[in-house]
Every structure is written in C-alpha cells, then in structure tokens.
Structure 1
C-alpha cells in the first residue's frame, strides 16, 4: 500500500485546487483501509457512514435490472464515493463491489460536516463532485428507463408485427397457387362461348350480392350450418370444391343467392362458371387480407414513430396529447389483449394542444398504463379508462384501472426511486419515479387516488409554460 500523501490527494481531479493544509486535515482525520477483490462496499439500501476516497484499485457499480445486477460504471483511483455534503442521498441506490484490490481513505460524516464550516475550497470540491455524480446518475437513469420502456413494448410489438407479416406470407403463397391455375380456368370458360349479355347479368347480380349490407355477424355454429348447406348445394350441382363453401360464407352468399346466379349460364356452363367464381372470390379475399395486413403494419410503424417522436427535434412543441395516448395503447395492444383488458377512451373533443416533449410524455403514458395492466392481472381481466379534459390553463389526463388498489401505507412511497411492489424480475421501481421527474420538468403535477378496486393517476400538464 503506497503512503497516503497530500500529493496523492491532489491527483484526485476535484481536489487539485484545494489548498495543501485542507488536504492535510483530511489525511489527519481519515482512516485508510485495504479492500480485497470481491468484497461488497455498498448494497442497495445501505446507509452512508463516510465519504470514501479511492486511492488504489477499482470498484464496480451496478444497478438491479430484473433478476440480475447490471454494471453501469467503474470507480477507479481518484474517485470519491459515499456521503457528500449537502446531498439528499443518504443511502446507496447501487451495488458497489471491489473488482481489484483497493485502498480507501474514509472520512466520517461528522468530520465532513465540520469541513463545510471550516474549509471553503474543500467543501466546494466535494459539492462539485456531488453535482457531477447527480448529473451522471440522472443521465444513466434516463437512458436506462428509456430502454426499459422500449423493453416493455418490444415483445408485444414483435408479436403485433409478426401477425400481419405472417398473414401476408401465407396469402402470397395462396395467391401464387391460385394464379398458377388461372390458365386452366380461362381455357374452360373461354371454350364455352358464353353469351356476353348473360355474363354481364351474372356479374351485376354477383356485385349486388357482395355489396349488400351484411346482417349481424354469424356465430361459429351458424357459419358451420351455412357451410354445410352450401356444400350440399354445390355437390348436387357437380361442384366438388370443398373450400368454396367457406369462401361463400365469408362473403355472405347463401343457397338462395346461388340459385339466383345459377339460372343465368347454360346448364353445361354451370360448373366452369362457378369454378371461375370460386377463384375470383378467393383471389379478392386474399388481396383484401394482404391490404389489411400491410395497413396494420403501417399503423404500427406510424405508432412507433409517433411514440418515439423520431421525426421531430428535441425542443418542446405543441402536440396532441390524444395522439400520444393512442400510440401508446397501440404499442401495448398485445399485452392489453393478453390481459383481457377493456379500454375506455373518454377524450375531450376540444382538448387544446400542449407544449411538451412528446417522446418524454409517451414514456409517462407507457409507465402508468403498463403498471395498470399489471395491477389488473390478478383478476385476469379489467377495465382501463383514460379521461382527458382542460382545466384552466392545463390539460388533465386521468388514467384509471379497476385493479385491487394501492394500500394506503405504501401510497406515499410509490414515486420513490427503486420502490416497487412487483415480484423480483418484474419491476425496477424506476417507472413512477421517472413519471414524476418528467412531469416536473414540464412544470406539471402527478397525483394518485386509490381505493380498493380503483386506482387513478391524475397527470396535469400546462398548455404553455408561459
């Protein structure tokens, strides 16, 4: 262990300009100790008892992410940790473990407090260290929470994107198979030399049937019974395409409609004409499903862009609160459906735009709504109600779930960093802390109202900071 000297302390960047006599005072009251690799310096929740000056070695700094601790930084010789004057941080919010044999000089909190009254330059250096540490921790926390919010969405988003993408793939394969048979169908129908007038009447009747307003959606049993009736009719008329009946049901075509169409072509042309009809309706259905799937993908991509505000600058702009809420719900749709959650949107039609950072607010909506979904999971169903309104010069968003509620004894702590009621691995305790921080940055407020069976978060955002 090298001797601890004033010159060694001056190698600490924050202490470089501190007078020698003040550093000598630190040496006289400080206690040097050796720490072996693998020793724990602080665990999350440990109370600080001293200010620690790392003279030699390395410390690893980690935070809890799910079920594991992930490293966010390394303290090397020259680092100052533990208690710092005028800081509100009295307990550790990180794991600190020695990863290389170290030497630390510790100065008790009582003596550091004495220094604030005796030595201006030393106090200034320690306060500057505190500000740097807060700035670094805030930046890391913000980045982590953004990644955590993305993690909440990514699994569901992947599922939501995979469904339409898979539908496009399946339908493209089916369409390819149908197109290969078109020459055969064309040959059969072309050889019949059908009367153009008859075919025009056939097409007019067909479009009238397809375009008519559909009645109430059929149940599975009703669809099955209708398919059986259509299959029997098709078999009686020599048409052995067993998938045709299912397609006819999808278009709302019944036996009466087939009879209405069957009287138009000559008897010898009935089978080829209805084969053509089968291919026509199948192709139309596939094209429609591909269009719907591609539209769904476009909507999801649009929601991601709106959620992350990818195409906007970093300054506050007048934005639609409703747009952000709707994008968040779209991206959480998989989890909402999985949780059997009913969404009720009670939006004010005349809600004004609010000057805010859209990406930041979307983090707020994600954290609150995601927590609400998790809270209702115990009931295997639930209702999430989102209400918006204007109150004076502010927009007020109230997000309410009918989960079990938040016990009164822990309500005051839910906005504290790292506080969570979720199981290990299911929460970090950062979500609502970030909600509070973001809303305070917007000069707004967040309030909690909770009783058994109902929890509401009321978020108030100024329309314009001025």
Structure 2
C-alpha cells in the first residue's frame, strides 16, 4: 500500500524530484482517507490544520456569498491543498465537496517543523506549491475585486442616469401632447387684429421673461403669486386659471404684466392671446427641462470618461487631483445620497498638478471613499471630509470620515493582502493593498490615524 501511494506521489509534477525516502516519511506520517461523494474535505470555519494530497477523485470548491454558495473552482486529482509550510492561513473560508468518491492523503501540520528541519527537498516542493497558490488566488481575488468595483460603478451609473433619462422621456411626452393642442389655439390667434406697436409690447414682454428663464421663487411667495394670477385669469374669463398661473409665475409674470397685456389686446381677443402666451411658456419650460436633463446625462458620461481615462494612454502626466476626486464622488453619488452622508471639500484652489497615472489614482479615491461610506453606515454624524494642500514639493490628500474607527488590534493589518473586516461578498481584502501599491508606484506614502469618530487616511504624492 505504501509503495502504491509513493508511486502515485511521484506522478505529481511538484513531487517527482523529491527523494524517495522523503516521500516514504510523508506517507508514514500521513493518514489515507476515503471521502464519499457529497461529503466534505473541509467546511467553512474549520481550522486549516492538515495538508491534503488528492490521490483519486476531485472536489468542488464553493464560498458563501449573500447566504448562497457559489462555485469558485475545483480540486482535481494530484492537487495539493490545505495547510502548507510557512502558510499563515488558519480558518477555511469555503467548502470542498467531493464530486465523486475520493482518496486523500492527510498530513497534520504538527509534522511541518520536523519536515522543515530534516526534509529540505520535500519542504521546497510544498513551498513552491504555496507560491503558485498565492499567485493564482491573488489573480482570482483581483479579478473579483475588479468585478465588484465594476458592479458598484454600473449600479451607480444606472441610478444616476435613471432620474435625468426619466425626466427627458416624461418631458418629451408632455411636449408632444402639448404641441398637439397648438393648431386650435393658432386658429384663434391668427384671427386677432392688433397693430405693430401693440404686438411689440406683448412680444417684447414675453421674450424678456423667456430670456430671464424660470425663476426660483420661495414657496410661500410663489403660492401667493399663483393665487393672484389665477384670480386675474378667471376674472378675465380664462378657464383652468390655476394651471396656467404656474407657468406665468415660473417666468416671473406679475399682475401688472397681465394688465399690460390686457391693455394692448381687444377684450374678446384677450383669452386667445393669453392662451397662446401660456402655450409658449409651457413649451419653453418643457424644452428647458429636456435640455437640463440631457446636460446631466452628458456631464455624467464625461465624468465616466474622465474617471476611467479611457481616451488616454496609460502614462504619467500632470493632472488636477480635484478632477479625479470629484469624478469619483460623482460615480459614488448614489451611495452617498442613500447613506445621507455630508461631503465636505477643503481644497487648495491653486494646488499644483502632480505627475500621476490618472486612472490608477482614481482607483485609490474609489477604494478609500467607498470604505469611508461603509464605515459611516451606523455613525451618528455622517461626515466625509476631503482635504488637499501643497507641502513643499509634495501634494497631500487627506480623506477623513466620522465613522466608528479602526480597532487598534487590526490597524497594523489593514494594508495586508486579503485582510478584511467586511462580510463575505462585501470585500476581498485587496482594496487597501491595491491602494498602497498604487501610491508606492507614484513614489508616495499613505498612513492612517484612527479613533472612534475620526479615521484619517493621509496620502502624500511628489509633484514632479
């Protein structure tokens, strides 16, 4: 039996150069286990205290996200998994379920010290396995992190685009319905007899009001003025006075303006003229709403383009730090509004433009601001403060939140790869590791000060 297992181990690429006597030691110290189809090699939360070599069969790897298990890969025949020499992993984060009846060699990690001391080739082989596993896991987690970031970005865009696009559709439908009423009103208008001077007074008044645009009047004052205009309209035989009064007040018409119009128009022609004026104002307002909503969509698309820097080569160039931060805030605006977070900007207006990789640094702002939003979830006062200033030949950026703070016992670990205090599905533990890598890529530094009610990430980037 031992001979057969050793022959099986020699078929594994990572172990085929290991001396036979060391493989004999491995088999002697290990247990050979049978795992039935549907049973588990390990479960979530179990201690990682054994190394496993799969001699026969294969296992499905799953992790739990949002109360459901998701398949993330498999362990095939000849795979080496579980605890490895020098590995710091201690608790399983997922499960390995047997897809068929399997045979597994299990070595308890208590034998690692003896192996490291006396069996160097065997130890080296397993260290190489660990290095490969780290590279693979890092690549997988980075991909997951990018997909999560893309998901957040997509959700934010969908949310931010929903309101202006809905406004465009709503205003366009109202405009179509509104324009359908114009022919009847036009027939009444062209029958009116009015001299050029009178016409000029009315049209000059109208287009002066349109030129000034819709006015933002305090609610109480606006209500009083609408009542006044509505009463005037009804006194002059105008139907639906209150509906038309809103348009006239929006464009700052007063009772005196309405009297001016009445003075220039024959009594029987007053209603058609006022109807025509109301139609022009309503059309203007709907067109303005469509233009404003379209501009918001255009601004958002520009922010996305600038944020991703999709139209530029990935090279360092002088850039406005504030533009990147503001674009990031635009991308995350839906989360900021949903959480009722107060954003405070303390920007140095004449801040120099450092040489940076724009898209990469936007990832820094995204990770730090997104983390701050999460930290403020249960905070009593929800403030996010962003400070920028020049300090000699450096630019300093501080991102401060009023959340619960980072516990002292984990403060030294927050930049470690895969370390996270978030629940599964909410974070990969790569965000701050990526932030640190990008800041280092810019020859800069990042530090954190934290206490309950104030966490401050301090970034320093050279200008040149």
Q: In which range does the TM-score fall when normalised by the shorter chain? A: 0.7 to 0.9
Q: Residues 164 and 293 of structure 1 are in contact (CA less than 8 Å); yes or no, is this contact kept in structure 2?
A: yes
Quick check: 1:218 aligned with 2:225? Answer: no
Counterparts of residues 123-272 of structure 1 (less than 5 Å): 123-212=123-212, 217-241=216-240, 242-272=242-272
In the alignment, is the contact (CA less than 8 A) between 2:404 and 2:452 conserved in 1?
yes
Shift of 1:245: 1.0
- Identify if the C-alpha distance between structure 1 residues 103 and 338 changes in structure 2 by more than 3 Å, giving closer, same or farther: same
Query: Over residues 199-225 of structure 1, what are the superposed CA-to-partner deviations in whole Å (9 max), with x where a residue is unaligned?
Result: 22322222333445988x433332222
Contact 2:164 2:293 in 1 (8 A): yes
Displacement of 1:158 in angstroms is 1.8
Distance 1:159 1:268 in 2: 51
Kept in 1, the 8 Å contact 2:48–2:92? The answer is no
Distance 2:316 2:8 in 1: 46
Q: CA separation in 1, counterparts of 2:28 and 2:318?
A: 58
CA contact (8 A) 1:62 1:94 kept: no
**Who is 1:419 aligned against?**
420
**Which segment is superposed worse, 8-17 or 160-169?**
8-17
Provide Cα deviations, 1:416-459, integer angstroms capped at 9, x if missing partner: 53532x67776665544544454455554332222333222223
Give the corresponding residue for 2:85: 85
Any conservation in 2 of the 1:59–1:96 contact (CA below 8 Å)? no
Deviations along 1:148-178, one digit per CA (max 9) or x if unpaired, are 2233344343222111111111111111112
In structure 1, the gaps of 5 or more residues are none
Q: Separation in 2 of the partners of 1:440 and 1:83?
A: 32
Q: Map of 1:324-403 to 2, 5 A cutoff?
A: 324-379=324-379, 382-403=382-403
1:336·1:373 contact (CA, 8 Å) conserved in 2? Answer: yes
Residue 232 of structure 1: CA displacement?
0.5
> Closer, same or farther in 2 for the Cα pair 1:392/1:62, shift >3 Å?
farther
* Equivalent in the alignment of 1:29: 29
Cα distance change on mapping 1:66 and 1:304 into 2, 3 Å: farther
TM-score of the superposition, structure 1-length normalised?
A: 0.87
- Report if aligned partners of 1:50, 1:82 keep a CA contact under 8 Å in 2: yes
SS at match of 1:5: helix
Cα deviation, residue 402, structure 1: 2.5
CA distance in 1 between counterparts of 2:252 and 2:92 reads 63
Deviations 1:358-414 (A, max 9, x none): 444333322322332333343566222111223345432211123344444554454
Conserved 8 A contact 2:388-2:395? yes
TM-score (norm 2): 0.87
Q: What's the C-alpha RMSD, in Å, of the aligned pairs?
A: 3.1
Distance 1:404 1:121, change over 3 A: closer
Q: Tell which deviates more after alignment, 120-129 or 154-163.
A: 120-129
